[in-house]
Structure 1
Amino acid sequence: MTRLVKKTHKKVYHLLGVFLIAGYFLALASFAWQVSTQQQQRFSLIAAIAPDLERLNQTHSLNEVLGQNVISQVILQDRIVFEQTAGSEWVLKQITLAPQLSVVAKPVWFQVVSSPIFWLLTSGFGLLLLITVKRSYQFIDKALAHVTEIEHWANSAIVQGNYPAVTTEHPIGYAINHLRKSMLHAQNQDSLFDKAIKESALLDDETGIGNKAYFNSRLSALMAEEDVRGAVYIIQCQGCDTIHSLYGHEQAIHVVEMIIQSIEKRFENRANFYLARCQEYELALLVPHVFVKEAEKLAQQILKGLLNIVLPVGINKDDFCHIGMSYFKSGDKAFQVLAEADMALRTAQLQGPSQWFMYDDGEIAHESAKGSLKWRTFLENAIRNNSFVIFFQPVIERFSDNILHHEVLTKVRDEKGELISARVFLPMAKKCGLSAPIDLLVFKQVCKLLTYEQDKQDCCSLNLSVDSLLDKSFIEKLHYELKQYPQIAPRLIIEISEYQLVNHLTELKPILFKLTLLGVQLLADKVGQYVVSAQYLKQLPIRYVKLHRSIVMNIEQKPENQVFVQSMKILCEPLKVKMFALGVEDQNEWRTLTKLGVQGGQGHYFTEPIAQVAKAIGH
């Protein structure tokens, strides 16, 4: 619409310009005609008085009569009878008035151009044209300001797929907002369809939102559409279990209702979203027609809103809730989307405090996206068949480039022979209660490998989950294995997440001290991922700390991360704790880290993880 109006305005402006220019040239022609008439009058006068011109010039001043600075010479019978300075000699022109009579004078066009009247006329025209153009554009912009804003709103709404309220004060804006409210009301009103849902028991009795069956039906219907896209969020509030234990069921449900209100408030301006209660303290949210970046932003906003909820005394917000997110598009299957969201939730829980998580696009193959029951069956078979493959990635010493030790990385082989990374299967192992058996199996593999290669003195580090370390049966089996291989224990380094060390310090302290008595060394992993107290270094026999990749990434450009590393160095040096860095990708990072006192590095800058064929395994 604005384009059409501006195009029309442009045509009107061109037409107005034509009229102004025509007027200008008409005025100019009139002025030139006057100048030409005056010149002809001068020439007639000169022709009349030519014989007496020389005598009159001696007795009278003819400059004013013949034109000041216009007539330069009058030539009669090849003799100059009148002469004055006319200036601008380069434009002077000789004009014959009669036989034996001619004049040297300025041409009419030059008289016109050099006249103040010409410049006044031209300046006035230019100023008038400029003012006309400027005022007309200002008028059009002002007149179309509201329409332009509404057009921008419409274009943005089409691209983003949602229709927020129009803020412009214009009748069109009022009409759009009225229609929008009517649409939202029509979509959210208690229609016959909603009554049918209630009658068919698709709503949760305690909260009034949809239940699991409602959510699954909505997701399946949406996935059947063409060109669909969106996100599924699984929100689990573990803190509600604690609230239930301390304050009772009613208080826990009250907190769940506040969570629902927080989410609904976040989406109050969005027409389409589906919220359901799938388990006691687990909600599922379906948001169609969003792009990945918008979906990630929504996850951050949802988490921020949940962490602002006022909780009862004694409930820790840091571990209150976790969100698993899965993005889907046309061609995906509903059960795979739900399975991936559930796996993302377990990963978020495994990583530590309240947070959200989503796997990168393509990180999980469709075959790997399974429900909990299938994961349990798959992992139990993998443990039974020893389908775990170990890799080694070296930690390189600064300056010398010697290998300090190797970290053990684990993958599991699926039914098709493809390898699944620990980042994918470990969260599901935790959910299925299989962390300890997997950790023990990998630990045994490493011990056998080190026994087979006794001529080498390289140390190995491997991650053990806090669930395994707090499992009494696992610790007993671990002690048994270490006693079977006493020469291996000094070559073993156990890595434990810093966050888990801090949060389970009291329970882990005696367990870790007993392990060190057997010769095992301890490493605090993922240091700096979360803001926690480093006092555990003084309370536990930690030999090494490993910086999280978020601290290492582009550290040469991040002064705040450099200050963090310097602070860790000050803490570690008196305790004789060595500091390593994980995720070193390039020379600039490594150079900066070594200057800051990091003693070892690990990452793709040095080498890719190397698969080890452990000949001892299987014997």
Structure 2
Amino acid sequence: MKHIKIITYKLTSFWLVSLAAVAFIFLLCAVMSFVQLTSRFQQNKVAELESVIVTQYQYNGSQQLTTWLPIVLKAYNTESFILQSDKSIVFEYYAPTEHKQQSVNHYQFNLDTVDNLRAELTLPPPFKMYQFDWYELMILLIGLVAIVLFVRYGFKWLGKELEGVEQIAQRSKMVLQGDFESAKSFTRNGRPRLINRAITKLLVELDDARQERGRLDQFIRANTFLDPVTEIGNRLFFENRMDALCNDSKMVAHGVIFLVEFDDDALLHVQADSEADRDYLKQIVSTLGKLLADFNETIFARRSQLQLAIVVPQISLAEADSLADRLLNNCLLVQHQHINNHANYLHLGAAFYKAGDILQQALEEAELALRAAQLQRINTWFMYDKGAVDQEIAKGSVRWRSFLEHALVNKRFFVFTQVIKDSDDSLLHYEVFSRVKDNQGNEIRATLYIPMAIKCGLMPQVERQVLEHVLFKLMPQNQATYCVNLSLDTLVSRAFIRWVKSILLEHRPLANRLIFEVSEDIVIKNQQHPRMAQTLTMLSKMGAKLSVDHVGKQVVGTQYIQTHAFDFVKLDRSIIRQLHERPENQLYIRSLIGGLLRSKAQVIAEGVQTLEEWQTLKILGVSAAQGNYFTHSLTDTI
């Protein structure tokens, strides 16, 4: 834009200088013509005077010259006149002193007479004798004013026309930078107007195409991972999500599995999926969804035509018992006209698992609990193996708060990093993870203490301590980039926002080596939260990059990725697990990458375990990955 403005000023200046030069040339020519004409007019008058003197001298002699010649010379504004005859002065005339001019014209001529007369005549310059009248001055003034007004109007007209061109150029620059929303709203008086209208139409069609692509992408995922009747996850979705909760087929955190099943004998026509049965299942799903809304990371899917599966991670045993009771009772409140036996048509089986348990074993225990509930031949629920409870899980909220506050004061949190490599197996950046040590020096996993820190409202303090370690201990050791996860409480915390803003302003070069990561679930559920969006925008403007992880865990549109201008999009491990054997997941990844083709977002896969998964990801176009396949890691203590 600066280049266009410079060209505009140069063109305008050239136009004004050219106009001034033309006016100056015309004025100079007029002055020269005026001087030349007045000089020629004076010469003609001198010639006439010469002829009159010769004629009068021949007829009347020198006696009559004093009678009429002074009057004629005065009329000519003569400075001096000398008439000589053979070195004797016949007649002389001098104008009064106050009428004399500093610059004069001298004329010498010989009179064609018998006495060899010779005359010397001194006259003032003829153009100095001309006096402008008031009407002539008025005409001249009106002309000058007209010229000034015309030049001013021309300057404004040219500036207005060139301003329209500048607006077209500015709008085109927004399009090239990928800022389509600003370019679309930038509908000023760009000229040529035809080009401006063409750009507006293309931007509108591009926006429609992007929305249609997002709808197509969501449609593909919905038909791949969603049940068409209940619109919750299907069996494939459930298996993917359960795989994401495991590491080498072992659960990484504690939780509970619920299996809700309708009795086929008591509930007729369910398998036929009649309209009444569809409405009934939708009401059941809506009822259960409301109960599960208070829990994070919940998995809710239709495992079979008569069975619903619910997995609630990070829940205590007492909470699991209470939730099982509420799930069953709320389902029984939903009425269905085809139920034959109201006392025995709905059963719930639950299995509580802890970290390290085998996934298949936990599912089998949930199936056994469901069969145990069905054997009682009443609407009831049954919990399998209540004794399998980790001691750390049993801590109450008060004890957790006391423990976490003590760990913050004594700085018992420590971090370790996991490498993220690009498709050329080169280091892209590190992702930072954290753990905490208890009083006995044992490590407590983040999956265990983070839910309790969120409940206690201590996540901003924990993540601040982690970020301090990254900024002042890890970054000085090398020039690598580090990715730090942020929770919703941290993103909306005024104290944390003020602190991170002051730190990044003080250490400006470090901001370019930071990536702040937020979960897709947080972004989707809090899109209308103004403070979260402001925090993300502030971090981006200060030079840090933004990343969103766990993408693909939910079936949602991807428009938010471009809305918040994320630099990295991290696929959830549930999509990556056994990817080379799952064409549905490959279809989803292709669709996602195609939808992000025109954005700056870089797609990264998390949880890569095998070479086959990594090769498949590179074929699909994923640019980077992390996981146990890349064995490099670094551990540090705060």
What interval of TM-score do these two structures reach, taking the shorter chain for normalisation?
0.3 to 0.5
TM-score by length of 2: 0.42
TM-score by length of 1: 0.44
RCO comparison, higher one (Cα < 8 Å, 6+): 2
